[in-house]
Amino acid sequence: MMKPVGRWVPFFFVLWATWETALSVTRYSIPEEMERGSVVANLAADLGLDVSGLAQREVKLDIFHNNKYLDINKRTGELFIVEKMDRESLCNTKTMTCFLKLDLIIESPLRIFNIELGITDINDNAPHFRRDKIELDVSESATPGERFSLPNAFDPDVGANTVKTYKLSESEHFTVDIHSGSDGTKYVDLVLMKALDREEKAVHNLILTAIDGGVPARSGTASIIVRVQDTNDNAPQFDQAVYSLNMSENSPAGTVVIKLNATDADEGPNADLTYSFTLYTSEKTQEMFWLNSKTGEIAVKGTIDYEDLKIFEMFLEAKDNGPVPLSGQCRVTVYVKDMNDNYPEITIKSLKNTVEENIPVGSVIALVGVSDRDTGDNGKVNLTMNKSLPFLLNQTSDYLYELLVSEPLDRELVPEYEIMLVVTDKGNPRLSDNETITVHLLDVNDNAPQFPQTFYTIPVMENNAPGALLSSLTAIDPDLHENQYLVYFIIEKEIVNTSMSMLFSINPENGNLYALKTFDYEIEKEFLFHIEARDSGVPPFSSNVTVHIIIMDQNDNTPLIVSPWRAHGSVVEEKIPRSTDKGTLIAKVIAIDSDSVHNSRITYQFLHNTDATLFSLDQYNGEIRTTRMFSYRDSRHQQLVVIAKDNGEPALSATVTIKLSTVETALKTYADMTEVPLGYDIFSDLNLYLVIGLGSVSFLLLITILVTIVLKCQKTKPSKAAPPCRNSVISERNSTIADSTLVSNDAYWYSLFLAETRKGKLVVRQPVPKGARYMVSSIPRSTGLTETSDSAASTLQVKQSTQ
């Protein structure tokens, strides 16, 4: 299809363009020297593109050699001329039309169109000769038909616009003979038509005109001066008129190409030959080869490159040394054989150096072009990666590849990739080159914080200072920047209507956990709650960990002596028969400690003993027994000071003082008591006191219970129950667990007791400290037990519960 394009130009310049699409290549053809702004074609219309979206899709025109001549109008989709194009400077070819290869690259989505633009020659250059003046010496003995080589004219144009013919000015002796070389170049020889007579005319001045085939035709001239020489009438002759041979490119300098041989029938100086390049031999060829003027040997002088020039034509002559030298010509054609001497090349046309780690699989990272100046298999290339990576090379054309993401990427595993692209040709030996692309991954918030442990057990010593640092709970987030910044907080949980945020505090920046109050082991044993770590990403991720706070006991409670009963700070007085046997139980000291099991382990020792030989003390159960019978020498009054010491560090202790008085009255000891019903007919003074005391205490007890019930009913809110503490069994004699209990909340009245008889058993009830509960069990009794011995012999089972 032909269509006029561009601006108006003189009628003899026809501006035209053609296009076609074959094998996904769109071709156009235009004449050279088109004016700036001339439209070549509408690519949007020819390629079926939406003109309205070209500007937003980042249209780019990629020309393999130079991008200064053409551009695309992103508003109309037209391909237009930016700068005049001279075919002779752009193309190193003798064909009528040379081609420029272009790629039209459209982003979002990526599309590539291959375009070839043909530049057609116009007749804008006139032929010209390398030398304006040509001098020839011609022997007068030259015979008609003898030929003399003339320099050919040069025209940069090609095809019909190059040199078409030669004309010689009017002459009766000379004419010109035109012949063509293998590449179509027109060569001209001066031919003698009529024998010369130097005496008639010694010099012939001729004008040689070279005319091209353009319309209109252009021409160039050179003057020929023919000087007629005398005698030497035999010209040298080569063995062949044309020599053809092959040689490899990159042959080393000095390599002999051929040795020419010419002969001359003359003798003497007229037969001495000198070899030389004629004017037909190009300067480029003369730079590549060296000619021995004496021997006719041709050798390599420069570097022969197949990619630079594939065929060399050398025009040589052998000239004799006669007074009028004669010469013979031949032509040597050297065909260069291609060798794999050019390394393939990699060109990064488009590259994304930085991408997010969650980039979709199949995304294009880079556009990579490859090329090789060699031909055939030597010019065929293949692009690969040097190692296995989560990327893929997709070939879109013979010399263009896409680098794609083939697998999901993870910055936490590999933060960046060094992708080495290796291009290799198919020559022998194979040549290769490489290019390294660095792709950096940007972080996205795809990892939740993680604690090193899923469960933390933190021991805390009781009586701690408020604000004390308990532990540092630090989570780890492998993300970066704001995705890595963590905030810590306690997940709210109420324990007995108390919020965890009132008991503990955590630093939101570093996870340091602090206590907000002083803990008491006897009230609170442990806490269980959760701590959450949350990052600052969008969306945020979080994780939590369970924290178990264990309150550790300190030895901060002094042992409390609950038996024998006594008023605060008073001395216990006991009476025992003087006839007491050896081993008789005199008294039993019972102490309790509200600390933990280890710290509450009580041992008993005598701090003072009037007669160390008379009494012994069991250090574990606190029983005081006689070690022998009383003698008349023993004092009637004995004083014992017993210390009860716990097992803490440092140890705490309490003491009780017992004053023993011996009486002659035969009283049964505690050891002689048995579970026999009390005889009501035996009514001693002691029993009378006990009955009176029993009545008084029962009345006081009833009043206390009524007052307590009234106070509890008046409370608006029930008291909070504290966690239960351990049970401590103080001591147990040869008796079973009691069948009745009495609970009292009086703080310090430990010596108040009640003795009564019930079915032959003695029931002892004692008050406990404020904040504690004790269950005092009954024990079997026998008749005749004194008040002192009843108190000493009581066995207590104690249950403490701190409120």
**pLDDT tens for residues 259-276?**
999 998 777 787 899 999
Q: Which of 156, 155, 149, 123 is nearest to 135 (CA)?
A: 149
Q: 458 pLDDT band (50/70/90 cuts)? A: very high
Cα 259 to Cα 244, 292, 296, 333, 582: the distances in Å are: 12, 9, 6, 13, 149
Helix (H, G, I), strand (E, B), or coil: what is residue 467?
coil
Which pairing describes strands 653-663 and 572-577: parallel, antiparallel, or unpaired? parallel
Q: Is 90 exceeded by the pLDDT of residue 55?
A: no
The pLDDT assigned to 719 comes to: 38
Residue whose entry in the numeric block shows the structure tokens 């420069």: 302
Helix H or strand E segment including 440: strand 432-442
Mean pLDDT (whole number) for 498-502? 82
Q: Is 80 exceeded by the pLDDT of residue 317?
A: yes
CB 615 within 8 A of CB 638: yes
Q: Is 70 exceeded by the pLDDT of residue 727?
A: no
HSE-up (13 A, CA, CB side) for residue 748: 4
Q: Which long-range contacts (CB under 8 A, 24 or more apart) does 502-511 make?
A: 503/527, 504/470, 504/529, 504/549, 506/473, 506/531, 510/472, 510/474, 511/472, 511/473, 511/474, 511/475, 511/486
Q: What tens digit of pLDDT does each residue of 127-159 get?
A: 888 888 999 988 878 889 998 888 888 777 777
Radius of gyration of the chain (CA): 63
- pTM of this prediction exceeds 0.95: no
The pLDDT assigned to 95 comes to: 63
Average pLDDT, the chain: 78
Q: In Å, how far from its chain's centre is CA 723? A: 52
Higher pLDDT residue, 768 or 318? 318
Higher pLDDT residue, 660 or 243? 243
In angstroms, rounded to a whole number, what is the distance separating the alpha carbons of residues 30 and 8? 14
Range with the poorest average pLDDT among 296-300, 355-359, 526-530, 579-583: 579-583
Higher pLDDT residue, 548 or 737? 548
Share of the chain above pLDDT 90, in %: 27
Q: 79 pLDDT band (50/70/90 cuts)? A: confident
Q: Is 80 exceeded by the pLDDT of residue 684?
A: no
Q: Is 80 exceeded by the pLDDT of residue 108?
A: no
Q: Which residues, in sequence order, are CB contacts of 718 under 8 Å at separation 6+?
A: none
The pLDDT assigned to 763 comes to: 35
Residue whose entry in the numeric block shows the structure tokens 């099991």: 597
Which pairing describes strands 345-351 and 364-371: parallel, antiparallel, or unpaired? antiparallel
Q: 98 pLDDT band (50/70/90 cuts)? A: confident
Q: What tens digit of pLDDT does each residue of 566-587 get?
A: 766 668 888 888 888 888 898 8
Q: 632 pLDDT band (50/70/90 cuts)? A: confident
CB 211 within 8 A of CB 167: yes
Helix H or strand E segment including 790: helix 787-793
Q: How far separated are the first and last CA of the chain, in Å rounded?
A: 107
Q: Which of 519, 516, 506, 496 is nearest to 545 (CA)?
A: 506
In angstroms, rounded to a whole number, what is the distance separating the alpha carbons of residues 745 and 741? 14
In angstroms, rounded to a whole number, what is the distance separating the alpha carbons of residues 785 and 791? 10
Q: Which residues, in sequence order, are CB contacts of 143 under 8 Å at separation 6+?
A: 192, 195, 233
The pLDDT assigned to 22 comes to: 38
Burial of 666 (0-12, 13-18, 19+ CB in 10 A): exposed
Mean pLDDT (whole number) for 607-617? 86
Q: Which two tokens mark 251?
A: 């042959």
Strands (E), 636-785: 637-645, 653-663, 727-728, 757-758, 761-762, 779-780
The pLDDT assigned to 92 comes to: 65
Residues in the chain: 803
The pLDDT assigned to 611 comes to: 83
Q: Is 50 exceeded by the pLDDT of residue 730?
A: no
Q: 363 pLDDT band (50/70/90 cuts)? A: very high
The pLDDT assigned to 257 comes to: 92
CB 228 within 8 A of CB 139: yes
Mean pLDDT (whole number) for 107-116? 81
The pLDDT assigned to 214 comes to: 82
Mean pLDDT (whole number) for 245-266? 89
In angstroms, rounded to a whole number, what is the distance separating the alpha carbons of residues 803 and 793? 30
The pLDDT assigned to 751 comes to: 33
Helix (H, G, I), strand (E, B), or coil: what is residue 396?
strand
Q: 74 pLDDT band (50/70/90 cuts)? A: confident
Q: Is 90 exceeded by the pLDDT of residue 290?
A: yes
The pLDDT assigned to 567 comes to: 65
The pLDDT assigned to 666 comes to: 52
Q: 687 pLDDT band (50/70/90 cuts)? A: low
CB 155 within 8 A of CB 161: yes
Q: Is 70 exceeded by the pLDDT of residue 78?
A: yes
- The amino acid that residue 174 corresponds to is F
Range with the poorest average pLDDT among 38-47, 225-234, 324-333: 225-234
CB 353 within 8 A of CB 438: yes
Mean pLDDT (whole number) for 395-405? 91
Higher pLDDT residue, 172 or 720? 172
Q: Which two tokens mark 208?
A: 């040689």
Range with the poorest average pLDDT among 121-125, 187-191, 737-741: 737-741
Q: What is the DSSP letter of 492?
A: P
- The amino acid that residue 338 corresponds to is D
Residue whose entry in the numeric block shows the structure tokens 């001591």: 731
Residues in a beta bridge with 329: 317
Q: 521 pLDDT band (50/70/90 cuts)? A: confident
Q: What is the DSSP letter of 709?
A: H
CB 125 within 8 A of CB 157: yes
In angstroms, rounded to a whole number, what is the distance separating the alpha carbons of residues 129 and 39? 37
The pLDDT assigned to 570 comes to: 62
Range with the poorest average pLDDT among 22-26, 98-102, 474-478, 741-745: 741-745
The pLDDT assigned to 741 comes to: 27
Phi, psi for 243 (deg, rounded to 5): -115, 135
Q: What tens digit of pLDDT does each residue of 742-762 get?
A: 222 332 233 333 333 333 333
Mean pLDDT (whole number) for 632-639? 85
- The amino acid that residue 743 corresponds to is V
Which pairing describes strands 25-31 and 111-120: parallel, antiparallel, or unpaired? parallel
- The amino acid that residue 533 corresponds to is A
The pLDDT assigned to 744 comes to: 29
The pLDDT assigned to 753 comes to: 33
CB 531 within 8 A of CB 489: yes
